[in-house]
Amino acid sequence: MKFSRRQFLQLGGSTALATSVGCDSTISEQLWPYTGGPHQVGSSFFSPSSESIDLISHHLNRLTFGPRPSAEIQKQFFQKTNERRLSDYERVSSLGETTEEAIEAYIKEQLQPDKIDDSFCDFYLQCFETLVLPRGELFEYQEKLLLTELTCATLMRSVLSERQLQEVMIQFWTDHFNIDQSKGDCRWLKAWDDREVIRKHALGKFPELLRASALSPAMLWYLDGRKNVKENQEDRPNENYARELLELHTLGVHGGYTQDDVEQVARCLTGWRVQGRKSGNFYASDIGKVGFRKDLHDDGEKKILGRVVPAGLGKGDLDRVLDIVSQHPSTAKHIATKLCMRFIADEPPQDAVSTVAASFQRSGGDICRTLQTLFQTGQFQDNKGNKFKRPFNFLVSSLRATGATINRTNDSWHLDRHPLGKYLLRMGDAPFQYPTPDGYPQEISPWLGTLLWRWDFALKLSQNEIKGIKIDKQQQQEENVGGADQLIAHFLGRRATDAEQKTYGESGNGLALLLASPAFQMC
Amino acid sequence: MRGGADGLTLVPPIGDSDYWRKRPVLAVNENTVVRLEGEKRFGLHPLLAGLTEPYSNGDLAVIHCVGSEDSTRSHFEAQDLMEHGGVNTPGGWLGRFLRARPGIRGGPLSAVAFGKSIPECLRGAPSVTALQSLDDFSLGSNIGQFIEQLDSLYGCWGKDVALHSAGMDTIKAIRCIEKLDRKSYQPEHGAEYSDHPFSRGLSQVAQLIKAKVGLDVASVDLNGWDSHWAQDILMDQLISELSQGLQAFYRDLGQKWMETVSVVVMTEFGRRLYMNSSLGTDHGRGSVMFVMGGGVKGGRILSDWKGLKDDVLEGRGDLPVTTNYRNVLVPILERHGAHDLSGVFLEYELSPLLL
């Protein structure tokens, strides 16, 4: 039985697909002196047609937060003419003569984010005033506002940015160098860490990322590095950061270090301080500034992983420690394992891990080259549709797949009153809020209790019941699109089976059921 | 108690002079510490006073110097080992326990985790649901047909068995809770739960128990015990919540229910005896466990206490583990119907405590 797209959507009592993105708030009206913001009008599908997930859909699933339909978009508010944006599937297909060439070109493009025009997303982000503040000025803002803006900006970048692989890697490194925003001055400084550590180095060199993180004032707060001092002979170092540096950030828990190494690393890192908030006669620009106090540093000789750090290096100890740990082969293996878990499978094939680790080690921790190696492995090409979308990724991929309109609802500074923030909190996947330093898990099992909320979101999104988010019914243009089977293929990355077509077509709520389906939870 | 709760603060060894000598700053106040009848060696932290009621009724036992064999002092390794009940063991010990009981098959609400995610100890349970509140459990009215359709989609989803099971569990749980009267719960016997998520979690566990929805195990986390700095300030609030929550739960259930309900309180490791440079303590080894109800022979503090001399302490000054946590759990699981515990705690020679 064939259903037309209109039938499919009408049966649902809800319709889908197409979009505009804008701000409905007073601030946005000042920014965009006309209603609605930049518009996307109309949409259509150019969908995969093979029985299993095809290679282009596979790459879109893994390198991005999910494929979008095509749309008419008005890029700048002063432009009168609309520009047609192809669906992601169609655009990637058009990048090469063959599928392989197209994919190669797409990966190359995504690995050079600075060359990708992202003006549409940038334009939207102007709503968030705290994103560009100098470090000291962050402290003039309410911490709740900072968290809400940072979270919403992260969500919106994941939905809107054309630099999708960069956003995916930002999510990865945010977890790898996890900081819970609620601890101490992290409430202000995480925003700076996000910009200057994670985003800046997400596709850069691992040693530079690691160094930026080690000297990030938010990290010094989060893992007590700022409290790790040796003032008197009997002072014992605070081992918190040193341990996580070895266990989580570099070598991995079975990477071959001992309790003694932890202590020696902690000794090397004594004396790094962060300028606090209530210290009296400082200009605002000094708050959160990181500095080294030689008098609080343990300057004796240390031995780390069999290598001697001579006495008297002072602040030079830090670079010595980071060199030793970032060049250690266990670090390459640890990072490779985590990358393969993210991009290939929860239990990553050891062949792939070895290949990726070798590339990481050879390139001195060059993240782009490491990723390129990963995407070329046979194991990456073969493992399709086997990764469970964690809640954040489920929400974002739903919004992308439906081309939903998202207003910036800034009537509250509280994330728990934000329509999308609420879902993230209930499903336990709100960015910057994971309490322990290991970051949100990447594998399926911890997330299996979240299905109820996914189904709830699917229902409400399809029925336009989420405040500030809209799937546009009026802009449906029947002539642009194929039947329900095309729509389903767009969501699943493959042709629907006859049984699936029948279930969705007859459901009475096709779109909600698609979003809630087991197939759409996977990527 | 995630984060590594300091057993030396929760249940201070007031009879050991080394405790006062080696913890001059962070020791509990000698004047306000709760002294227990017939117990010279240990007292309770003043804010744990709520536990004296079950203790003196003989319904609460404390085990000291307890922990696991994991000596990495890593939160994740220690929690992992403790929750899995072994190294490289599939699933968690509670999950395996639920499968090990003969002739009992868990219903949709057999295992409930109050929190955002499912803890590792419940992995592998026949059915497990994470929820933050019983109120969460509704998709609104008129969703009968939608649930039917999901039932058929997840029912025939063969690619990922875990996803298939999670879908079926969620559907069953939705149907079961739809029948509960969630709004009108009144705790009994003058029990007062606070608004803290820990207390709220316990009150909802109590509600599920009394409603007889088929609850076998529940987990509630009280997080944040990782007191690397300003330990006193950080722990005081947590200890109050722990005390108030457990006391309210004990009163609410009353004698009748507490006979059949066991409450176990545990943490991944204790903390170092010596203070660090920031008025805190770093990761240590042995800590305490509390066992309440379920027929436990309480009113006792069980401990193979070896003192706090330097040659007794482990590593840089950590309370040694003299009782493995499994040996505390074994008698409890046996009272709850598990006969063969070799399938629950794998590759470990058990020598259960007499609890």
- Residue B4: pLDDT band (50, 70, 90) is very high
Q: How far is B250 from chain A (nearest CA, A)?
A: 28
Quick check: A435 and B223 CB within 8 A? yes
CA proximity to B172, closest of B120, B247, B230, B110: B110
Quick check: B143 and A459 CB within 8 A? yes
Q: Residue A2 pLDDT more than 80?
A: no
Joined tokens for residue B216: 């076998």
pLDDT digits (tens, 9 = 90+) for A355-388: 999 999 999 999 999 999 999 999 999 999 999 9
Residues facing residue B288 across a β-bridge: B64
Could you tell me if A345 lies within 8 Å of chain B, comparing CB atoms? no
Query: For A491-499, what is the mean pLDDT?
Result: 87
Joined tokens for residue A437: 């330093």
Q: CA angle at residue A103 from A100 to A104, to 5 degrees?
A: 85
> Across chain A, what does the average pLDDT equal?
86
Report the residue from A237, A388, A428 with minimal CB separation from B117: A428
- Which of A260, A394, A429, A452 should one mutate to test binding to chain B, selecting the residue with the greatest count of B CBs within 10 A? A452
> pTM for this one?
0.78
Query: For A43-71, what is the mean pLDDT?
Result: 85
Report the residue from B129, B145, B149 with minimal CB separation from A503: B149
Q: Are B314 and B306 in contact (CB under 8 A)?
A: no
Q: How far is B163 from chain A (nearest CA, A)?
A: 7
- Residue A75: pLDDT band (50, 70, 90) is low
CA B296, B298, B304, B308 torsion: positive or negative?
Answer: positive
Neighbours of B142 (CB within 10 A): 7
Report the residue from A239, A427, A451 with minimal CB separation from B167: A451
Could you tell me if A183 lies within 8 Å of chain B, comparing CB atoms? no
Q: Residue B107 pLDDT more than 70?
A: no
- Which of B120, B143, B163 should one mutate to test binding to chain A, selecting the residue with the greatest count of A CBs within 10 A? B163
> How many whole angstroms separate alpha carbon B206 and alpha carbon A175?
35
Quick check: B76 and A385 CB within 8 A? no
- Which of B80, B277, B278 should one mutate to test binding to chain A, selecting the residue with the greatest count of A CBs within 10 A? B277
Most confidently predicted of A38-52, B65-79, B334-348: B65-79
Quick check: A509 and B131 CB within 8 A? no
pLDDT digits (tens, 9 = 90+) for A211-227: 999 999 999 999 999 99
**Looking at A50-54, A280-284, B277-281, B306-310, which range is the least confident one?**
A280-284
Conformational region of residue A142, where left means phi above 0, alpha means psi within -120 to 50, and beta covers everything else? beta
CA proximity to B321, closest of B280, B274, B267: B267
- pLDDT for residue B176: 76
Joined tokens for residue A159: 């939905």
Q: Residue A236 pLDDT more than 80?
A: yes
Q: How far is A148 from chain B (nearest CA, A)?
A: 19
CA proximity to A523, closest of A389, A333, A369, A332: A389
What's chain B's Rg over C-alpha atoms? 21
Share of chain B above pLDDT 70, in %: 96
- Residue B351: pLDDT band (50, 70, 90) is very high
Q: What share of chain B is helix, strand, coil (3-state, %, to 5)?
A: 35, 10, 50
- Residue A26: pLDDT band (50, 70, 90) is very low
Quick check: A451 and B166 CB within 8 A? yes
Neighbours of A371 (CB within 10 A): 23
Quick check: B118 and A522 CB within 8 A? no
Could you tell me if B174 lies within 8 Å of chain A, comparing CB atoms? yes
Quick check: B162 and A448 CB within 8 A? yes
Query: For B178-199, what is the mean pLDDT?
Result: 87
Query: For A329-348, what is the mean pLDDT?
Result: 98
- pLDDT for residue B200: 92
Report the residue from B115, B118, B131 with minimal CB separation from A448: B118
Which residues, other chains included, contact B17 with Cβ-Cβ below 8 Å and sequence gap of 6+? Answer: none
- pLDDT for residue A417: 74
Residue of chain B with shortest Cα separation from A270: B277
- pLDDT for residue A46: 62
**Looking at A149-153, A208-212, A405-409, A486-490, which range is the least confident one?**
A405-409
Query: For B117-127, what is the mean pLDDT?
Result: 79
Could you tell me if A463 lies within 8 Å of chain B, comparing CB atoms? no
Tell me the ipTM for this assembly: 0.86
- Interface subset of B 120-139, CB within 8 angstroms of A: 123, 128-132, 136-137, 139
Residue of chain B with shortest Cα separation from A247: B74
- Interface subset of A 257-316, CB within 8 angstroms of B: 259, 263
**Looking at A73-77, B280-284, B312-316, which range is the least confident one?**
A73-77
Quick check: B277 and A238 CB within 8 A? yes
Could you tell me if B172 lies within 8 Å of chain A, comparing CB atoms? no
Query: For B268-276, what is the mean pLDDT?
Result: 97
- Interface subset of A 420-459, CB within 8 angstroms of B: 425-428, 435-436, 438, 444-453, 455-456, 459
Quick check: B164 and A518 CB within 8 A? yes
pLDDT digits (tens, 9 = 90+) for A420-469: 988 888 788 999 988 778 999 899 987 888 898 899 999 999 989 998 89
- pLDDT for residue A391: 94
Q: Residue A191 pLDDT more than 80?
A: yes
- pLDDT for residue B88: 65
Q: How far is A151 from chain B (nearest CA, A)?
A: 18
Neighbours of A308 (CB within 10 A): 10
- Return the higher-pLDDT residue of B106 and A189: A189
φ/ψ of A291, rounded to 5, equals -145, 160
For chain B, the structural domain boundaries read: 7-102+230-343
Q: Residue A108 pLDDT more than 60?
A: yes
Could you tell me if B72 lies within 8 Å of chain A, comparing CB atoms? yes
Residues facing residue B302 across a β-bridge: B63
Q: Terminus-to-terminus CA distance in chain A, angstroms?
A: 27
- Interface subset of B 300-339, CB within 8 angstroms of A: 315-316
Cβ density class B227-252: b for 16+ within 10 Å, e for less: bbbebeebbeebbbbbbbbbbbbbbb
pLDDT digits (tens, 9 = 90+) for A386-402: 999 999 999 999 999 99
> How many whole angstroms separate alpha carbon B249 and alpha carbon B114?
15
Chain A residues inside the 8 Å CB shell of B131: 449, 452
Could you tell me if B163 lies within 8 Å of chain A, comparing CB atoms? yes
Could you tell me if B29 lies within 8 Å of chain A, comparing CB atoms? no
Quick check: A449 and B162 CB within 8 A? no
- pLDDT for residue A34: 26
DSSP string, A37-97: SSBEE--------SSS--HHHHHHHHHSS-----EEE--STT--S-EEE--HHHHHHTTSS
> How many whole angstroms separate alpha carbon A69 and alpha carbon B208?
45
Residue of chain A with shortest Cα separation from B111: A449
> How many whole angstroms separate alpha carbon A39 and alpha carbon A403?
12
- Return the higher-pLDDT residue of B134 and B234: B234
φ/ψ of A396, rounded to 5, equals -65, -45
Q: Residue B95 pLDDT more than 80?
A: yes
- Residue B65: pLDDT band (50, 70, 90) is very high
Q: Is B235 helix (H, G, I), strand (E, B) or coil?
A: helix
Q: Residue A106 pLDDT more than 80?
A: yes
- Residue B144: pLDDT band (50, 70, 90) is confident
Quick check: B170 and A452 CB within 8 A? yes
**Looking at A67-76, A86-95, A98-107, B340-349, which range is the least confident one?**
A67-76
Q: Are B14 and B29 in contact (CB under 8 A)?
A: no
- Which of A178, A226, A236 should one mutate to test binding to chain B, selecting the residue with the greatest count of B CBs within 10 A? A236
Query: For B241-251, what is the mean pLDDT?
Result: 98
Strands annotated E in A207-275: 272-274
Residue of chain B with shortest Cα separation from A435: B224
Chain B residues inside the 8 Å CB shell of A507: 149
Share of chain A above pLDDT 90, in %: 61
- pLDDT for residue A480: 39
Could you tell me if B143 lies within 8 Å of chain A, comparing CB atoms? yes
Residue of chain B with shortest Cα separation from A233: B277
Could you tell me if B140 lies within 8 Å of chain A, comparing CB atoms? yes
Query: For A242-266, what is the mean pLDDT?
Result: 97
Query: For A270-294, what is the mean pLDDT?
Result: 84
- Residue A419: pLDDT band (50, 70, 90) is confident
DSSP string, A450-512: GHHHHHHHHHHHHTT-STTEE--STT--GGG---HHHHHHHHHSSPPPHHHHHHHHHSS-HHH
